[in-house]
Structure 1
Amino acid sequence: MKFGPVPVAKAEGAILAHSLNVEEVRLRKGRKLSAADIASVTDVGLSEVTVAVLAPDDIAEDQAAEALARSLVPDRDAASLKISSPFTGRVNIYAITAGVIQIDAAAIERFNAVSPAITVATLPQMARVSAGALIATVKVIPYAVSKQFVEGMPISAALHLAPFTLRTASLILTRTPGMADKLLTKSRDAVARRIQAFNCTMDDVVTVPHEISALSEAILNATGEAILILTASATSDIQDVGPTALNQSGGEITRFGMPVDPGNLLFLGAYDGRPVVGLPGCARSPALNGADWVLQRIACGIDVTNKDIANMGVGGLLKEIPTRPQPRGGSLDVPAQPKVEVLLLAAGGSRRMRGKDKLLEIADGEPLLRRTARAMAHARLERVHVVMQPENTERDAALLGLDVNRISSPAWQEGMAASIRAGMAGLSQDCDAVIIALADMPDVTYAHLNSLVAEFNVAEAREICRAVTADGTPGLPVLFGRRFFETLANLQGDRGARDVVKDASEFLVDVPTLGQAAVIGLDTPEAWNQWRMDRNRSV
């Protein structure tokens, strides 16, 4: 293929390399130039254009991309994959159904080594996908490639989707004396949600004492196609209660421990031809962990071997899970006087205020933003951070003279999570806890924040302290201990931190506060009018 500028008069039949947008001429790149195109280009005064001219032994990009994609998926039905029509030298490959993608990595590497002009990119090996998900894309880089590259590409069947086939699973929970019922409920619900993602349902759920004999009997009576075990305490050794009970029931252990964190303490085995998975404690959290990697393969009927698990170490360091009893960072010991900072979220767009800025409305003679920030500054806190929109000069002016730190949230329009992420990045390195507060809550005072700080106690697992009204209605602000910092720093969407609270209820303490301050937010003109009337009546 030849590529470069040519006189317009000689460009007919060539492929336009760059889009033209001159006066009335609108020609997209990749277009095969016709006689009419040449006339139009000549009429606007262009003397040359950049084109690609195919050689006799070249194959055009779309034709080449389609042929190459078919070499990777020669039997689309058997592979449970479908191939898109080619466009701009690209062909996408999609999953027909939900499952796990299996990739012949060596074949993909050979494919990409043929020529830099020919590429395929895939999802990671054993990635879980939904129906219709894009799992690979073939791209021919230039406008054409030599026939020898395409016709010489071996048929590899490098891509295959293993659909979910597991229909039922049994869950066995163990309990120790004094174990809260809500922890058992949380465990059951978390595992049920996990397997529902594989189109699998819970066949039976039983709770037995954390004893070898009781657990062994439960394994014998399990009816599901797979058996899942979640013990009250972590499995610490291959001779611990879980593995021993499986052996005693007539089953076998194939693996204890995995190089995936969270998920290290998983054990894997079999009973009566059915897989048995001893779930690690992190399976109580919805966050991704090593058990997910094992379960999704089992759900597709893929054997999980000792070697398979041993090979999971690369990429096996996953996101920290806040409910881990001892996080990776080591001790959570907090001094008697913890260092607590506040994130005052003030980046909202006042969309419900019909043209007004809720934070610049006057409350007791000053903008609400200033009034709220000043109240925070009087609390027993190390520092007050105000998370703001970039370059909002009016809100900036409202904070002049206050001892607060401004943090910019460039992605504030994404929602509250973006402001929390920005704020978490601005915390001091030695901060023990953070209070998340909203700037449009006028009745929250320094006393509310001090009450949250007073209840914070890591040793007693009081690591989320939530303000509630006098009648017990949950609200804001909320204090989070360091255990939750990584999760907060990676929030998405507009739900703020409510899911963090929901998923870590064992660390939650509700802190009663005066009146209704914890739930009063002024984000509409009607709310402002009502608040002002209530204030006037109380004076």
Structure 2
Amino acid sequence: MREASCMIFGELPIEEAEGAILAHSVSTGASSLRKGHVLTRGDIDALQAAGILRVTAARLAATDLGEDEAASRLADALRIDDVRIGPASTGRVNFFALENGLFTVDPAVINGINAVDPAVTIATLKNHDRVQPGQMVATVKIIPFAVDAAIIERIEKQIAGRAAFGIRPFRPQSIGLVQTVLPSVKPSVLDKTKRVMEARVIRNAGMIAGEMRVSHRAADLKEAIRQMASLSDALIVFGASAVADPADIVPQAIREAGGTVHHIGMPVDPGNLLILGELDGKPVIGAPGCARSLKENGFDWVLDRLMAGIGVTPRDIVGMGVGGLLMEIPTRPQPRQAEPAVRPVTVAVALLAAGQSRRMGGPNKLLAQISGEPIVRLSARRALASGGHPVIAVLGHMAGEIEAALSGLDVVTAVNGAYATGISSSIRTALLHVPADTDGMMVLLADMPALAPEHLKRLIEVFAKAGGSAVVRATFDGKRGNPVILPRSLFGSIERLAGDIGARHLIENGDAPVIDVEIGPAAMVDVDTPDDLRTAGGVIA
């Protein structure tokens, strides 16, 4: 393996460390210098005064690129479509979708970059994942503080002219719907199917051109297929009974209408019984019965690609087997041995509402109102809707008034008698009320009215997918924000917090991995001043 950089890394005498980059955070007692900080003469003097004689640090060589510069150069060299590049920070650059659509990626380009040198990495979503505007789709990360410029130059030459990734936006299309009817099929089932299909098509920027319901006979169905195909860009057919053979009613009717049946069946479960056909150059999908529900199934994979202008061939369908087992279906006729239940990951929410609102000039910001509701109550309701439990409201300054504003809500109130000493005392107070079997605690500031339940749910979902062992932190454009979820492994360290500092240094210096989740501007919007309150649409009650 070649060296990632010629930089010098290791312990340095403090008198030789000016201009070096700190590899680990250090404290002078009065202040703390973070990992990645470039040491100044003043820092050296302060560290010497604190009795610190050596530091672990890095010095860049003449041919090195700093981590942010290297990440930016790689990001700028990538050929991407409908994707926004975020700013570089701590050697990372994130990429965000600009459109609703499907993410597409060339694995050879990504794998090629990652094979050049382990110091340079890039990670993306899976090919054909659904994305929304603002969603993070890829990230570049430079592992050390610097890399040799030759490594980045090599990658730039390797990827020149090659499309790396992008978004295929959903295209406005009209979709025709045909359903066959048998006496055993209730009209309510057909009505629900139409509503479900409308929801699917609308979320993909399309519209239902019309619907026909005909008897479950090939002669009737072929006429409906011809008629609806002439009125729409694509056609979806629901048979009243599942397809059992290539000569069954739905595939037979597609052929008799003058169309072609390209493929029957798919290795995605649920969704096995899908039919892929074509009539007059327009896609015709024979939908499996599971597509009558909005739960994800193989039908979604085909419909989404077609509505994003991505062709689907029999070879594509055959290749969907890896990753195609989506869920177990309890109603299967074949008996199956149940797997042992896995306890879900749980998160408590610490709603910090003890502060003194000093920068407001008198009034308590948490009692200010947005749309007629106190900010603290608004924050508590959204915390309750996040799925976290319990929600622990930590009170301090004006505790009685804040508690009254939370009246009727299912929150646990905890009074922090030492609130004047700073935020760490509130975090410790909340921790006393976290159940013993809870996996993590979300620290949520009560003065962030732009946070919606969906933001909080997303953080909890990421925490759960990580097995409850990682720190999960909200970000905006790669910048650290709030809230943050702390895993149980850090609870012991939280108990030792002191002063007006949060858990940031525990996160940065701890052993728990950190996952940053981009949630947009809401991660940075809080209400500290009267101007902040006016910007947020709030008024003093």
TM-score, length basis structure 1 = 0.61
Q: Deviations over 1:281-339 (max 9, x none)?
A: 000122110001111100100000111111000010011245x5x3564599xxxxxxx
1:354 Cα deviation from its structure 2 partner: 8.5
1:390 Cα deviation from its structure 2 partner: 5.3
Answering whether residue 156 of structure 2 is matched by residue 150 of structure 1, we say: no
Q: 1:208 corresponds to which residue? A: 214
1:18 Cα deviation from its structure 2 partner: 1.2
- 1:82-93 matched pairs, under 5 angstroms: 82-93=84-95
Select which of 275, 287, 302 maps to 1:294.
302
Q: 2:36 corresponds to which residue? A: 30
Q: Is the 8 A contact 1:166 1:301 kept in 2?
A: no
Answering whether residue 187 of structure 2 is matched by residue 185 of structure 1, we say: no
1:21 Cα deviation from its structure 2 partner: 2.5
User: Aligned equivalents of 1:245 and 1:65: distance in 2?
Assistant: 56
Q: 2:319 corresponds to which residue? A: 311
Q: Deviations over 1:384-436 (max 9, x none)?
A: xxxxx956xxxxxxxxxxxxxxxx77689999xx9xxxxxxxxxxxxxxxxxx
User: Aligned equivalents of 1:356 and 1:56: distance in 2?
Assistant: 57
User: Aligned equivalents of 2:172 and 2:328: distance in 1?
Assistant: 29
User: Aligned equivalents of 2:411 and 2:103: distance in 1?
Assistant: 51
User: Aligned equivalents of 1:354 and 1:91: distance in 2?
Assistant: 41
1:349 Cα deviation from its structure 2 partner: 6.0
Q: Is the 8 A contact 1:94 1:136 kept in 2?
A: yes
Q: Is the 8 A contact 1:266 1:277 kept in 2?
A: yes
Answering whether residue 277 of structure 2 is matched by residue 269 of structure 1, we say: yes
Write the letter of the residue equivalent to 2:180: T
Answering whether residue 179 of structure 2 is matched by residue 173 of structure 1, we say: yes
Q: Is the 8 A contact 1:165 1:301 kept in 2?
A: yes
Find the residue that maps to 2:42 and give its secondary structure.
helix
Find the residue that maps to 1:158 and give its secondary structure.
strand
Greater relative contact order: 1 or 2 (C-alpha under 8 angstroms, separation 6 or more)?
A: 2
1:68 Cα deviation from its structure 2 partner: 1.3
- 1:114-263 matched pairs, under 5 angstroms: 114-153=116-155, 154=158, 155=160, 156-222=162-228, 223-263=231-271
Instruction: Provide structure 1 residue ranges, at least 5 long, that are not aligned to the other structure.
Output: 333-346, 358-388, 392-407, 419-539
Quickly say closer, same or farther: Cα 1:11–1:320, change in 2 above 3 A.
same
Q: 1:64 corresponds to which residue? A: 70
Q: Deviations over 1:121-143 (max 9, x none)?
A: 11111111111111111100000
Q: Is the 8 A contact 2:28 2:46 kept in 1?
A: no
Q: 1:395 corresponds to which residue? A: none
Quickly say closer, same or farther: Cα 1:409–1:30, change in 2 above 3 A.
closer
Quickly say closer, same or farther: Cα 1:211–1:411, change in 2 above 3 A.
farther
- 1:406-417 matched pairs, under 5 angstroms: none
User: Aligned equivalents of 2:90 and 2:33: distance in 1?
Assistant: 14
Q: Is the 8 A contact 2:114 2:120 kept in 1?
A: yes
Q: Is the 8 A contact 1:103 1:159 kept in 2?
A: yes
Write the letter of the residue equivalent to 2:84: K
1:40 Cα deviation from its structure 2 partner: 2.3
User: Aligned equivalents of 1:318 and 1:109: distance in 2?
Assistant: 26
Quickly say closer, same or farther: Cα 1:314–1:356, change in 2 above 3 A.
closer
Write the letter of the residue equivalent to 2:139: T
User: Aligned equivalents of 1:169 and 1:327: distance in 2?
Assistant: 33
1:22 Cα deviation from its structure 2 partner: 2.6
Find the residue that maps to 1:243 and give its secondary structure.
helix
User: Aligned equivalents of 2:270 and 2:335: distance in 1?
Assistant: 13
TM-score, length basis structure 2 = 0.60
Write the letter of the residue equivalent to 2:190: L
User: Aligned equivalents of 2:411 and 2:91: distance in 1?
Assistant: 50
User: Aligned equivalents of 1:309 and 1:26: distance in 2?
Assistant: 56
Q: Deviations over 1:158-211 (max 9, x none)?
A: 112111014221111111124211111121112222222212221111111111
Write the letter of the residue equivalent to 2:214: V
Write the letter of the residue equivalent to 2:133: A
1:71 Cα deviation from its structure 2 partner: 2.5
User: Aligned equivalents of 1:24 and 1:43: distance in 2?
Assistant: 11
Quickly say closer, same or farther: Cα 1:327–1:132, change in 2 above 3 A.
farther
User: Aligned equivalents of 1:355 and 1:316: distance in 2?
Assistant: 40
Quickly say closer, same or farther: Cα 1:84–1:348, change in 2 above 3 A.
closer
User: Aligned equivalents of 1:31 and 1:70: distance in 2?
Assistant: 25
Q: Is the 8 A contact 1:166 1:298 kept in 2?
A: no
Moved more, 163-172 or 29-38: 29-38
1:252 Cα deviation from its structure 2 partner: 0.7
Q: 2:385 corresponds to which residue? A: none
Find the residue that maps to 1:174 and give its secondary structure.
strand
Write the letter of the residue equivalent to 1:13: G
User: Aligned equivalents of 1:216 and 1:87: distance in 2?
Assistant: 59
Aligned residues: 349
1:224 Cα deviation from its structure 2 partner: 1.7
User: Aligned equivalents of 2:167 and 2:238: distance in 1?
Assistant: 29
Answering whether residue 103 of structure 2 is matched by residue 95 of structure 1, we say: no
Q: Is the 8 A contact 1:25 1:41 kept in 2?
A: no
Quickly say closer, same or farther: Cα 1:210–1:136, change in 2 above 3 A.
same
User: Aligned equivalents of 1:152 and 1:205: distance in 2?
Assistant: 56
Larger radius of gyration: 1
User: Aligned equivalents of 1:208 and 1:188: distance in 2?
Assistant: 14
Q: Is the 8 A contact 1:320 1:327 kept in 2?
A: no
- 1:382-397 matched pairs, under 5 angstroms: none
Find the residue that maps to 2:163 and give its secondary structure.
coil
Q: What percentage of aligned pairs have identical amino acids?
A: 40
Instruction: Provide structure 2 residue ranges, at least 5 long, that are not aligned to the other structure.
Output: 1-6, 339-387, 393-406, 413-433, 443-455, 461-541
Q: Is the 8 A contact 2:170 2:307 kept in 1?
A: yes
1:350 Cα deviation from its structure 2 partner: 10
Quickly say closer, same or farther: Cα 1:70–1:327, change in 2 above 3 A.
farther
User: Aligned equivalents of 1:244 and 1:21: distance in 2?
Assistant: 76
Quickly say closer, same or farther: Cα 1:58–1:350, change in 2 above 3 A.
closer
User: Aligned equivalents of 2:212 and 2:254: distance in 1?
Assistant: 16
Select which of 44, 47, 56 maps to 2:50.
44
User: Aligned equivalents of 2:18 and 2:439: distance in 1?
Assistant: 49
Write the letter of the residue equivalent to 1:5: E
User: Aligned equivalents of 1:4 and 1:102: distance in 2?
Assistant: 41
